[in-house]
Amino acid sequence: MRAAESVPSYTQARSVSIPLRATVAAKLADYLELTKPRIALLVLVTVTVGFILGSSGSWRLIPLLHALFGIALVAAGSSALNQFLERATDARMDRTAERPLPAGRLAPAEVLCFGLATGFFGSLYLALTLNLLTALLTVVTLLLYVAVYTPLKRVTPLCTAVGAIPGALPPVLGWAAACGTLDVGAGLLFAILYLWQFPHFLAIGWLYRNQYTHAGLRMSPAKQPTRCVTGFMCVAYTLALLPASLLPSRFALAGESYFLTAVVLGLGYLACAVRFLLSESDRTARGLIWSSLVYLPLLLLSLTWDHFQLLR
């Protein structure tokens, strides 16, 4: 009788396995959140655009997949290391307090190991499957984001200008992965991505300015910004972005169709920035953020499509 009682029943075994599966699924979900998947997706889209444009019509799928896999690993590592360094400040902001580290669902040591491992193996993978230039630029992107931009957020509002550099490098990585060299086309893609980020992040900074200040982050704008200063900055960057976005047509990366699309999208982005300038509010700030998220994918899609049309 005792021997029979010592054997777990099917129901007992099943009741143990269900919580175990739930725990594993929750842990995987936390690791996925650690990689900031929405940002990672945007990074991979811009890498793909850079790869296609850098290939000049002769692109191959396998090298692109190598680039996407390696860069995805490094992007995941960058996000993990960023959250490792910012775990204390994240805990002080409502918008980030439920992330895996400040919420206590992941330990700092395992996040650090995950970030270092994915960053290292992603860079090594790129060097072995593609070329050293792509691997080197990817390492530079990681270091600028983690070792320069992240600590600067506690020191100066100029951190945004620095953080926009690694944010603008993904299409350059794609270009380098495609041909192993860089030229003016890669520079144009970098300029477009660099300028596009400022109205986007300035609007986010304005929207969450109180939380940033409470956490000790010196993000622009300040907790009590001078009226219209942030709006003027957003308008200035959208004005600078408009001619920069037209340059691919000047350098034969795209044609008239892209040119017209870039004008329309640029004017729309500018209109949202002007609207924010005239009435700085949560509503207009969110409108500017959403317009930036519409602008970039449509611009890149038009650029890629028109590039193919020129090559036909």
Residue 104's CATH number: 1.10.357.140
What global pTM score does this model have?
0.88
Residue scoring higher pLDDT (29 or 48): 48
Same domain for 274 and 189: yes
Same domain for 78 and 165: yes
Same domain for 67 and 187: no
Same domain for 212 and 130: no
CA atoms lying within 13 Å on the CB side of residue 222: 7
Q: Which of 53-67, 102-116, 224-238 has the lowest mean pLDDT?
A: 224-238
Residue 31, in any domain of the structure: no
Residue 27, in any domain of the structure: no
**CA end-to-end span of the chain:** 81
Residue 28, in any domain of the structure: no
DSSP state, residue 103: T
182, 205, 227 - which closes a domain: 182
Q: Which of 201, 202, 174, 132 is nearest to 300 (CA)?
A: 174
Same domain for 154 and 75: yes
Cα 146 to Cα 128: distance, rounded to the nearest angstrom: 24
182, 209, 233 - which closes a domain: 182
User: Residue 210 in contact with residue 223, Cβ under 8 Å?
Assistant: yes
User: Residue 265 in contact with residue 216, Cβ under 8 Å?
Assistant: no
User: Residue 258 in contact with residue 298, Cβ under 8 Å?
Assistant: no
User: Residue 218 in contact with residue 300, Cβ under 8 Å?
Assistant: no
What is the reported pLDDT for 245? Answer: 96
What is the reported pLDDT for 16? Answer: 47
Same domain for 162 and 139: yes
Cα 60 to Cα 256: distance, rounded to the nearest angstrom: 27
From the number of C-beta atoms within 10 Å of its C-beta (0-12, 13-18, 19+), residue 312 rates as: exposed
What is the reported pLDDT for 158? Answer: 84
Range of the domain at 248: 183-312
What is the reported pLDDT for 223? Answer: 55
Same domain for 226 and 167: no
Give per-residue burial for 148-172: e unless 16+ CB within 10 Å, then b. Answer: ebbebbeeeeebbebbbbbbbbbbb
DSSP state, residue 99: S
Same domain for 115 and 237: no
Is the predicted pLDDT of residue 12 greater than 60, yes or no?
no
| Cα angle: 13, vertex 19, 22; to 5 degrees | 135
What mean pLDDT do residues 188-212 have? 92
Residue 29, in any domain of the structure: no
Same domain for 167 and 237: no
Same domain for 144 and 95: yes
Same domain for 227 and 310: yes
Same domain for 243 and 159: no
In the chain, the number of structural domains is 2
Residue 72, in any domain of the structure: yes
128, 149, 182 - which closes a domain: 182
Residue 209, in any domain of the structure: yes
